[in-house]
């Protein structure tokens, strides 16, 4: 397996921009960017209760529930089984959490510079050979070499095949 392995155990958790929760950055470009000047950012958040989302003008976002209960964003209900949900980062968004805390995957790209797509897939998965970065996030530990929420980033020069025997649910992000 080639590419860059991003271990879940190595991530540091920090407060949200609006102070209402915690997030851990999975990958960020440029590498030393902050929340005001990134071109793209992939993170996992823990959402314990209801509240507003931070506004990110000029950013396209996609949210995928990884675990826990459900979360409604302005009435659109997301669960661990639902498809990823895309929305504009500048829109006011109110979250309502039901059934306990949730963990979500948040993919954000600066409009006009980058775009992205997010899909839930079952393995095995072959990545590489495309003119874009792809990131694969393991939702379980059923893949060889990947633990739960580990990520593999594959660039256009890399080729990776991810195989396993577990549940095999992955989130694949393309277009970065």
- At 21, the pLDDT band (50, 70, 90 cuts) reads confident
Helices and strands per DSSP (H, E), number in the chain? 0, 15
Specify the 3-state DSSP secondary structure of 9: helix
More confident residue, 121 or 61: 61
In this prediction the pTM is 0.87
Q: Which two tokens stand for residue 9?
A: 């155990």
Residues 79-135 have pLDDT tens digits of 999 999 999 999 999 999 999 889 999 999 999 998 888 888 766 666 655 556 677
- 64 pairs with which residues across the strands? 105
Domain ranges in the chain are 11-110, 117-174
- How distant, in Å, are the alpha carbons of 77, 126, 149 from that of 40? 25, 23, 19
Nearest to 139 by CA among 163, 168, 160, 119: 168
More confident residue, 99 or 2: 99
Q: Which two tokens stand for residue 167?
A: 């549940």
Q: Which CATH class is domain 11-110?
A: mainly beta
Nearest to 39 by CA among 31, 29, 54, 25: 29
């Amino acid at each position: 397996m080639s590419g860059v392995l991003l271990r879940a155990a190595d991530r540091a958790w920090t407060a949200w921009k609006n102070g209402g929760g915690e997030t851990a950055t999975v990958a960020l470009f440029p590498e030393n960017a902050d929340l005001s000047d990134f071109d793209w950012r992939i993170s996992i958040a823990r959402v314990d209760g209801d509240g507003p989302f931070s506004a990110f003008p000029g950013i396209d976002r996609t949210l995928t529930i990884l675990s826990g209960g459900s979360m409604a964003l302005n009435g659109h209900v997301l669960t661990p089984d639902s498809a990823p949900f895309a929305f504009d980062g500048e829109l006011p968004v109110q979250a309502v959490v039901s059934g306990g805390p949730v963990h979500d995957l948040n993919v954000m790209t600066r409009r006009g510079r980058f775009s992205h797509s997010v899909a839930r897939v079952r393995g095995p998965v072959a990545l590489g050979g495309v003119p874009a970065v792809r990131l694969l996030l393991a939702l379980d530990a059923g893949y060889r070499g990947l633990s739960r929420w580990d990520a593999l980033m594959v660039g256009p020069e890399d080729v990776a095949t991810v195989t396993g025997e577990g549940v095999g649910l992955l989130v694949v992000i393309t277009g970065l």
